[in-house]
């Protein structure tokens, strides 16, 4: 039976007022502590870190601290700062749940350096899946850019060059797409490519069927599958077990002209193996929304490579983001109050 308990929720990051009202409507048992003016203002929609030059007055800082110290749950990591999260957890024994606005919020929780008792007391959830549709669209765009040779089209247009001979383009319905990681983003990617007529393969540790995926690949067979794929789309989170997973074994196995897209985390890719594959033509085109070190260093060869498209970790952003996260938070709040399983609970071993 649903409980009549209420939950005191502190807003820890800048949030549009309309999204706050939406959460109130979806879960009336929430008592929000929200005071505009205390938060780093968003520079763009979904900018949870906020304006870096913002500073609170001593009075504002004290009030912000009071909100963090008196809440049972937090919407967002305070100032998206792992050190401040650690302080809040240790100073607020009533804190029971923190929802991170990042899909990869587990890494932020790990960075907070909380002890076992603290991780046991506080439940952490992430916004994984909220960005699935926008990232899946970028993956589709990235593969299409490679398949249709966007760089050649741009170069010819810039030179006002109409080639004397026409040339072939690749078709999605003739391509095999290997999706590395079938979580929320990976499933969205698979659905879109399947709708375009592609043959879709996906890596899975569980072996459970996934809609739109024609063949499940055990991660131990990743390199062998990559050798047969026309395009590879990485969607994996950054964890200890995924770091450098896409390395020399994969990039040396791929066939010439393979397209590569990364919409997961940059640390999943060993760039010292990706770059030689690009130079050799085994990777014919790469669309990277993420890189291992962000921002990408000015001297990185990836900036100037003719077959690389760089997106500055922006493919997940959309006008829908804050509202989707608000809906997810309200859903999880209902689950929390009713003693049900929360979505996207952080694994405090892998921090995923």
Distance CA 232, CA 57 (A): 49
Secondary structure letter of residue 342 according to DSSP: P
Among candidate residues 313, 327, 331, 343, the one labeled active-site is 313
User: For residues 177 and 199, is the Cβ–Cβ distance under 8 A?
Assistant: yes
Note whether 244 and 265 are within 8 A (CB): no
Give me the residue label for tokens 């810039």.
Answer: 158
Does residue 51 contact residue 40 with C-beta atoms inside 8 Å?
A: yes
| DSSP strand pairing (30-33 vs 258-262) | unpaired
Q: Specify the residue for token string 């912000």.
A: 64
- The neighbour count for residue 240, using CB atoms within 10 Å, is 11
Q: Is 283 helix (H, G, I), strand (E, B) or coil?
A: strand
Rounded Cα distance between 22 and 94, Å, is 25
Does the N-terminal peptide bond of residue 304 adopt cis geometry, omega within 30 degrees of 0? Answer: no
Q: Which residues contact 61 (CB under 8 A, 6 or more apart)?
A: none
Closest CA to 102 of 8, 209, 2, 238: 238
Catalytic residue among 65, 265, 282, 324: 265
Residue 224 backbone dihedrals phi, psi, to 5 degrees: -65, -40
| Nearest Cα to Cα of residue 14 among 71, 78, 84 | 78
52 CB-contact burial (10 Å; exposed 0-12 / middle 13-18 / buried 19+): exposed
Q: Is 313 a catalytic residue?
A: yes
Q: What CA–CA distance (Å, rounded) separates 28 from 26?
A: 6
Catalytic residues, by residue number, are: 265, 294, 313
């Amino acid at each position: 039976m649903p409980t009549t308990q209420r939950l005191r929720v502190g807003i820890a990051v800048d949030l549009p007022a309309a999204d706050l009202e939406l959460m109130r409507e979806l879960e009336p048992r929430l008592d929000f502590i929200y005071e505009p003016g205390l938060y780093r203002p968003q520079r763009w929609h979904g900018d949870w870190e906020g304006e870096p030059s913002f500073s609170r007055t001593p009075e504002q800082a004290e009030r912000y601290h009071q909100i963090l110290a008196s809440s049972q749950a937090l919407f967002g990591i305070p100032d998206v700062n792992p050190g401040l999260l650690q302080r809040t957890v240790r100073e607020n024994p009533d804190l029971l749940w923190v929802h991170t606005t990042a899909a990869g919020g587990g890494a932020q929780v790990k960075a907070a350096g909380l002890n076992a008792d603290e991780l046991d007391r506080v439940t952490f959830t992430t916004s994984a899946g909220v960005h699935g549709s926008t990232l899946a669209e970028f993956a589709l765009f990235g593969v299409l850019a490679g398949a249709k040779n966007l760089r050649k089209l741009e170069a010819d247009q810039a030179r006002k060059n109409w080639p004397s001979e026409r040339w072939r383009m690749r078709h999605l319905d003739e391509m095999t797409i290997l999706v590395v990681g079938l979580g929320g983003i990976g499933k969205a990617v698979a659905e879109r490519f399947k709708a375009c007529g592609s043959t879709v393969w996906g890596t899975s540790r569980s072996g459970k069927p996934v809609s739109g995926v024609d063949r499940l690949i055990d991660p131990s067979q990743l390199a062998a599958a990559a050798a047969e794929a026309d395009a590879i789309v990485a969607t994996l989170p950054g964890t200890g077990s995924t770091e450098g997973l896409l390395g020399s074994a994969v990039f040396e196995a791929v066939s010439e002209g393979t397209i590569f897209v990364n919409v997961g985390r940059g640390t999943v890719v060993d760039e010292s193996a990706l770059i030689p594959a690009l130079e050799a033509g085994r990777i014919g085109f790469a669309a990277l929304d993420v890189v291992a070190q962000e921002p990408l260093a000015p001297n990185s060869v990836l900036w100037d490579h003719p077959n690389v498209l760089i997106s500055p970790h922006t493919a997940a952003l959309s006008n829908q983001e804050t509202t989707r996260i608000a809906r997810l938070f309200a859903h999880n709040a209902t689950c929390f109050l009713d003693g049900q399983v929360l979505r996207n609970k952080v694994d405090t071993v892998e921090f995923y």
